[in-house]
Amino acid sequence: MADETRTPEDKRIVRDIANDAAEDFSKPITRLNILSFRPPETDSRFAELVSRVEGAVTGGRSFLSDERRQQLSQSFAAGLRVFGFYERLDLPYALALTGMENDYGATVIIDVFSASALRSLLGPWGPHSPSSETPPPPSDPTSWPNFHTVVDKLAAQGNAVQRVGREEAARSYATLFVDTLRGLAGGVRRAFGSSAPPTTIHFTVDSGPRKKGYALAAFPQHRYTPAAFGGKQLSYPVDDHLPTGHWCFEGVLAGSTSAPIRDLWPHFVGPHNTSTKTTAF
C-alpha cells in the first residue's frame, strides 16, 4: 500500500484548513513580518494549523509529541522561507517537482536551500560526486537575489522541474502539510486515544519492478529535501527510522551516474504502517 486511504471527510477537512492557510503564504514578506523564516517567528502560525486540525479530527486533544511538534514546526518554517525566497527575487512562481501524484492534485515544492535537493536535480550524479551548486544561506535574506542563477538552472530541468504560480504552489504546500497533520491526528484517534504516537517508526521499503541495488532517499510529501534512507543498505529491502507522517522515496542504482528515480506517490509512516513497496524502481 503506497499511502493511507483518505475519506471524503478527510479531504474536506484538509482543503478547508489549507485554503485559509494558503492565503497567508501569498502575502508579501513585509506583511508576513518574518525575517529569519525560523521559529519562534513562525510558531504561532504553525500552532494555529495544529489547533484547527485538533478541533476537526481529535476533538481538541493533542496528537503530537513534543519532539514531533518541534520537527514539524521547523519544517513548516522552512517551507515559508522558500516562499520568502521567491518573494525576495520578485518572481511570480515557485519551482516544484514534475510528475508527483497525490489525492489532492497538489505539487511538491523544491527547497532551494537544500544542498541535497540541488544535487539530486542538477547533478553531477554518482556516489562521490559533490553538489554542483551551493544553496542560498538560509539566515541571510539580503543575499538571496544573488542566487537567481540557481533558480534558472533548476527551471531548465524541464523533465524534473516545473514552474508553478506562487499562490497555487502555496496552496499545494499548505494542503500537503495540513494533510500530514491530519494523518497524524487520525492515527492518534484510531490507535492511541488521547496519547501521542511514537516520534519515529522503524520502516521498511521494498522495491518494485527493477528491485535490486538501489540506494534510497526520503523526503516529506510537502517539500523536496531528500535525505539518505537506510545508510549503506541497497534495495531490497531497506529499513531505517522515519518520523511519523507522509514520505516520498527516490532511488539511485549503485554505481550509476544517472539522476535519481522518484516514486510518484507518498507513503504513510505510522504505528500501523511500518512497510511499503515502491512502484517506480
The percentage of the chain sitting over the pLDDT mark of 90, rounded to a whole number, equals 58
Tens-digit pLDDT profile for residues 170-223 = 999 999 999 999 998 887 655 555 456 677 889 999 987 777 899 999 999 999
Tens-digit pLDDT profile for residues 5-26 = 899 999 999 999 999 888 877 7
**pLDDT for the residue 251:** 93
| pLDDT over 80 at 42, yes or no | no
**pLDDT for the residue 182:** 95
Helix 148-155 / helix 115-122 crossing angle, nearest 10 deg:
40
**pLDDT for the residue 121:** 94
User: How large is the average pLDDT for residues 244-268?
Assistant: 91
| pLDDT over 80 at 64, yes or no | yes
For the chain, the residue count is 281
Ramachandran category for residue 43: left, alpha or beta (phi over 0 → left; psi -120 to 50 → alpha): alpha
Distance CA 226, CA 248 (A): 9
**pLDDT for the residue 3:** 78
Tens-digit pLDDT profile for residues 116-162 = 999 999 987 765 566 568 999 988 888 999 999 999 999 999 889 99
Average pLDDT of the chain?
A: 87
How far from 244 is each of 58, 133, 202, CA to CA, in Å? 17, 31, 10
**pLDDT for the residue 190:** 58
Q: Within its chain, how far is the Cα of 263 from the centroid?
A: 14
Q: Does the predicted model carry a pTM greater than 0.85? A: yes
| pLDDT over 90 at 91, yes or no | yes
Would you state the cell numbers that stand for residue 274, as one nine-digit string? 511500518
| pLDDT over 70 at 164, yes or no | yes
